[in-house]
Amino acid sequence: METLANLESFVRSAESGGFSAAARRLGLTPAAVSRNVMMLERNLGIRLFQRSTRKLILTEAGERFLHAIRSSLEELQASIANMATDRGEPAGVLRVSMGLTFGVDYIVSLLPDFLKLYPKIHPDWQFESRQVDLIAEGLMRRSVAVSNFRLAWYRGCWHRYTLSRSHRRTM
């Protein structure tokens, strides 16, 4: 299994045409980039570059490999960057099913403030006047964590509660 550093060193070296330019872009030394590429070549068992003192030229195998991994590497780096900036904020789709009257009277007025607090939440509200099978329709998750409190469905309505515990240790 190749490391991300080896793959990124290869791709950036191929894009820039040399280890020095790739090293500046990656914040590494040229020797480290060269070492990463050599390790990748050794592990793959193929030569990816024809080297000269002035430039790098991709071999045919190197061109195929670059074409095969470039988009995947960029997607992986974007995913890592997104997770790093997430900082644990609630995000994703929040599916809620409720009666029309309850939704209009109590929930709709709270939605703008909720979305300001949690902009990465995408509500999927279902206002229906029928009995809903929460588990079968994928709506029941027992409770939903929202910052320092939780919402839970109990006896026909949502309840807000916090979780706490004693800091004392029992011996």
Q: Count CA atoms closer than 13 A to 47's CA, side-chain side.
A: 7
Percent share of the chain, pLDDT over 90? 27
Q: What's the pLDDT band for 138 if we cut at 50, 70, 90?
A: low
The pLDDT of 142-155, averaged and rounded, is: 49
Domains, the chain, with CATH or none = 4-86 (1.10.10.10), 92-161 (3.40.190.10)
CB 84 within 8 A of CB 112: no
Closest of 134, 110, 137, 105 to residue 121, by C-alpha: 110
| 47 compared with 26, residue with greater pLDDT | 47
Q: Which residues contact 157 (CB under 8 A, 6 or more apart)?
A: 102
The model's pTM: 0.51
Q: Mean pLDDT in the chain? A: 77
Closest of 121, 139, 123 to residue 131, by C-alpha: 139
CB 105 within 8 A of CB 77: no
